[in-house]
Amino acid sequence: MDEVTGAQLIAESLKAQKVEYMFGIVGVPVIEVAMAAQAAGIKYVGMRNEQAACYAASAIGYLTGRPGSCLVVSGPGLIHALGGMANANMNCWPVVVIGGSSDQNQETAGAFQEFPQVEACRLYSKFSARPSSLDVIPSVIEKAVRTSMYGRPGACYVDIAGDMVNAKVDRSKVRAVSCCPTPPVSLAHHGAIAEAISVLKAAKRPLVIIGKGAAYGRAETALREFVEMIGLPFLPTPMGKGVLPDDHPNCVAAARSRALLQADVVLLLGARLNWMLHFGLPPRFNPNVKIIQVDLCAEEMGNNVSPAVALLGDINAVVIQLVEVVRKDGWRYASDSEWWSTLKDKIVANAKISKTLALQSTVPMNYYTVFHHVSQLLPHDCIIISEGANTMDIGRTMLNNYLPRHRLDAGTFGTMGVGLGFAIAAAAVERSEHSNQRIVCVEGDSAFGFSGMEVETMCRYNLPVVIIVVNNNGIYSGVDLETWKEMAKMGDLTSIAPPVSLLPEARYDEVMTAFGGRGFLVRTVEELRSALQLSLSDWERPSLLNVLIDPSSDRKQQDFPWLTLSNL
């Protein structure tokens, strides 16, 4: 008899569904699952917190189009992973979480780490199930992988009873399930395509908004043809950056507010009209703006603004449909329009402002100076991962992306703590695809702290991630070392220290050196440039640049820098 264990069935089924990566933390009852995954040819990355493991697995889905898997233990392990599932769902990224749970027939018995896991995952997933016997594991895993990718992508959960992990079944009793294909592609209705083209042609001030759905949907080639053929201005959302290069002549990111406010027709490609796009409403949008909305999720159509035209379908396929119509009639948007000159004037004016700030050579440095030099040194094909408040917001405007799916950040959910997990996933993909791309993680000091122990994971697997911690001693901003010492003399810091503050000049670089990576303490432009160059030339191990900047860099000086709420 050819017997197979539950652990083997899970691992082999994931591999059969082309799930190539697993991130997790093992413990009873899932150790054997991780071992079986490696035996089946899945790359296993052991992480330090399930949240980061789940962030990493979800980034695999965004980067490769096939979900990564996340392996967690019962109870608290699974609960930690919920953050990652929620983040994946909000971002519309596929991920499959496998959770060990208490034994069968022990439900409600008060078993070790017992928790209603299948129910708990429902709010954070598209599909949540517990196979009732070993022989159905392959079909449940197939359904989880398929559901995570099909329709609007998201998180799926499979619960494995502890006693099923090592239980055995005769292989001949297990129904083989084939690999689910990539999602079927749908086209928009041809009448709606014609309608969209006529609305676009009638526009005086058209604007294309490129979201991370366009990045996920791999629409870059068709989109470039569309934008260049017609000569339309485009604006990427944060993770839409790089679908078309940020230095493309039609990119109007540097005139974002003006473009949003004055556009009369917006072609919205894979972006929701949520908080990130100011709901598509005044005061940030023209009240009469006509939206041509392209999305594969029908329920998304009409959220906040009723679209003039709804194009339901896959972005890549729909853009090709649009290209075909325009190619036939040869229409171009006038390059000498008033709209183009308004946008170009604004771009030039805004560039001057940030250049002035960037060229300040004071110590401590400000954000603009740091990003100016970082952007000069980063290779064009590097993957930039970023999180933090000011660090992410200012960095986004100054660090260019030239390739699609090369920027990952706090995303739709605004989740802090995603950076190191995302970087580990990107580095794992880089390693297995030999793409020779640098993975650069630009972190605020607060954001870094959420998953800081993952530097050990990077060191353990020799993942040459470059982490730049832009350290302003706090959340939004902290206080300088001298002020901190004065406050400590005045009394109990828990009563008087601003809640936004973190330890001034904390040595995050030493967290990296503790595990054998490279650490740099950086105060000046020269130190920044040389540390970054050294880090970028090292492919053997990770580096961390602890860049101490002016804690009040982002705003003007206040009389009483602490104890004033208005200061926040």
What are the residues binding Mg ion (CB under 5 A)?
Answer: 444-446, 472
Shortest distance in whole angstroms from residue 300 CB to ligand ADP:
5
**Residue closer to Mg ion, measured from CB, 316 or 390:** 390
**Measured from the CB of residue 263, what is the shortest distance to ligand ADP in angstroms?**
16
The distance of closest approach from Cβ of residue 215 to ligand ADP in the complex, given in angstroms and rounded to an integer, is: 8
The item of ligand ADP, Mg ion, none sharing an interface with residue 262, based on CB under 5 to 8 Å by kind, is none
CB nearer to Mg ion: pick between 394 and 429: 394
User: 33 or 467, CB closer to Mg ion?
Assistant: 467
Nearer to ligand ADP, 274 or 375 (CB): 274
Shortest Cβ distance from residue 408 to ligand ADP (Å)? 11
Q: Residue 449 is inside which H or E element, if any?
A: helix 445-450
Q: Which is nearer to ligand ADP, 402 or 461 (CB)?
A: 402
Token pair for residue 302? 């009409």
Tokens representing residue 47 in the block: 């992480």
Half-sphere exposure of 171 (CA within 13 A, CB side): 8
d(CA 138, CA 8): 10
The residue whose two tokens read 């917190």 is: 49
- What is the closest distance, in whole angstroms, from the C-beta atom of residue 400 to Mg ion in the complex? 23
* Least distance to ligand ADP, CB of residue 361, Å: 35
Between CA 161 and CA 177 the distance in angstroms is 21
Residue 152 binds which of ligand ADP, Mg ion, none (CB < 5-8 A, kind-dependent): ligand ADP
Run of H or E residues at 488: helix 481-490
Beta carbon nearer to Mg ion, 401 or 553: 553
Query: Rounded distance, CA 361 to CA 347, Å?
Result: 24
The listed partner (Mg ion, ligand ADP, none) that binds 272, CB under 5 to 8 Å by sort, is ligand ADP
Residues 49 and 80 sit within 8 Å (Cβ to Cβ): yes
Tokens coding 327: 């190619």
Reported in sequence order, the residue ranges of 380-487 that DSSP labels E, i.e. its strands, are: 383-387, 407-409, 439-444, 466-471
- Whether a cis peptide bond, with omega within 30° of 0, leads into 364 is yes
Show Cβ contacts of residue 433 under 8 Å, excluding neighbours closer than 6 positions: none
Q: How far is the CB of 450 from Mg ion (least distance, A)?
A: 12
Helix-helix angle 419-433:50-64, to 10 degrees: 50
Residue 472's binding partner out of ligand ADP, Mg ion, none, with CB under 5 to 8 Å set by partner kind:
Mg ion
Matching residue, tokens 């239980």 = 167
Pick one of Mg ion, ligand ADP, none as the site partner of residue 444 (Cβ within 5 to 8 A by kind).
Mg ion
Nearer residue to ligand ADP within complex by CB, 211 or 449: 211
Please state, in angstroms and rounded to a whole number, the distance separating the CA atoms of residues 161 and 126. 20
* Cα 545 from Cα 470, distance rounded (Å): 8
The full length of the chain comes to: 568
What token pair was written down for 54?
Answer: 């789940």
CB of 485 to ligand ADP, least distance (A): 42
* Residue 480 touches which of Mg ion, ligand ADP, none (Cβ within 5-8 Å per kind): none
d(CA 212, CA 145): 21
Please state, in angstroms and rounded to a whole number, the distance separating the CA atoms of residues 15 and 41.
7
Nearer Cβ to ligand ADP (232/271): 271
Residue 287: exposed, middle, or buried by beta-carbon count in 10 A (0-12, 13-18, 19+)? exposed
Please state whether beta strands 3-5 and 21-24 pair in parallel, antiparallel, or not at all (unpaired): unpaired
Q: Which does 212 bind (CB under 5 to 8 A by kind): Mg ion, ligand ADP, none?
A: ligand ADP
The whole-angstrom separation of Cα 560 and Cα 568 is: 12
Shortest spacing between CB 276 and ligand ADP, in angstroms: 5
Name the binder of 438 from Mg ion, ligand ADP, none, CB < 5-8 A by kind: none
Work out what residue 136 binds among ligand ADP, Mg ion, none; the CB cut-off runs from 5 to 8 Å by kind.
Answer: none
DSSP string, 228-278: HHHT--EEE-GGGTTSS-TT-TTB-GGGHHHHHHH-SEEEEES--SSGGGG
Q: Are strands 543-548 and 518-522 parallel, antiparallel or unpaired?
A: parallel
312 binds, among ligand ADP, Mg ion, none (CB under 5 to 8 A by kind): none
- Minimal distance, residue 430 CB to ligand ADP, in Å: 23
- Please say whether the beta carbons of 563 and 498 come within 8 A: yes
Select 339 or 476, whichever has its Cβ closest to Mg ion.
Answer: 476
Residues near ligand ADP (CB under 6 A): 91-92, 152, 211-213, 216-217, 237, 239-240, 270-272, 274, 276, 295-297, 300, 314-315, 412
For the CB of residue 85, give the shortest distance to ligand ADP in the complex, in Å: 16
For ligand ADP, the closer CB: 306 or 335:
306
* Residue nearest Mg ion, Cβ-based: 444
Q: Which is nearer to ligand ADP, 150 or 461 (CB)?
A: 150
Residue 445 binds which of ligand ADP, Mg ion, none (CB < 5-8 A, kind-dependent): Mg ion
- The least CB distance from residue 472 to Mg ion, in Å, is 4
Decide: 445 and 511 in contact? Cβ < 8 Å.
no
Taking CB positions, which residue lies at the least distance from ligand ADP? 213
Residue with Cβ nearer ligand ADP (374 or 416) = 416
Out of Mg ion, ligand ADP, none, which partner does residue 20 contact, by CB within 5 to 8 A per kind?
none
